[in-house]
Amino acid sequence: MDKEYECLHEEILNWQDKRFTLVSASIILVTTALGLVSEGKNTWPWEIVSSIILAFLFCVCLLTWYFGTSNARLGAYIEVFYETADQPYYRWHTRNRAFKHEILLYRFLSFNSCLALIYLVLGVSSIVIPSKFQFPTNSNFLYLLLTLFLLFLVTIVLLIGFSYPRKRYVSYWQKVKEREADNKPVIQTDFINTNMASQNASENKISSKSAAISFSAGK
Question: Given 3-state DSSP classes, what are the helix, strand and coil percentages for the chain, each rounded to the nearest 5?
Answer: 85, 0, 15
Q: For position 114, what pLDDT does the model report?
A: 86
Q: For position 68, what pLDDT does the model report?
A: 86
Pair 132, 212 in one domain: no
Pair 42, 70 in one domain: yes
Tell me the C-alpha distance between 130 and 136, whole Å: 10
Residue 39 has pLDDT above 90, yes or no: no
Average of pLDDT values for 159-181? 79
Q: Which residue has the higher pLDDT, 56 or 133?
A: 56
pLDDT tens for 60-108 read: 999 999 888 888 888 888 878 777 666 655 666 666 666 565 555 555 5
Pair 192, 137 in one domain: no
Pair 125, 218 in one domain: no
Pair 54, 98 in one domain: yes
Pair 108, 24 in one domain: yes
Q: Which residue has the higher pLDDT, 139 or 111?
A: 111
Pair 170, 202 in one domain: no
Q: What is the DSSP letter of 158?
A: H
Average of pLDDT values for 184-206? 53
pLDDT tens for 95-128 read: 666 656 555 555 556 788 888 999 999 999 998 8
- Poorest-confidence range of 11-20, 30-39, 177-186? 177-186
* Residue range of the domain that includes 200: 188-219
Q: For position 120, what pLDDT does the model report?
A: 94
Pair 55, 142 in one domain: yes
- CB-count burial class (<10 Å; 0-12, 13-18, 19+) for 115: buried
Q: For position 215, what pLDDT does the model report?
A: 44
Please name the residues in contact with 175: beta carbons below 8 A apart, sequence gap of 6 or more.
186, 190
Number of structural domains the chain divides into: 2
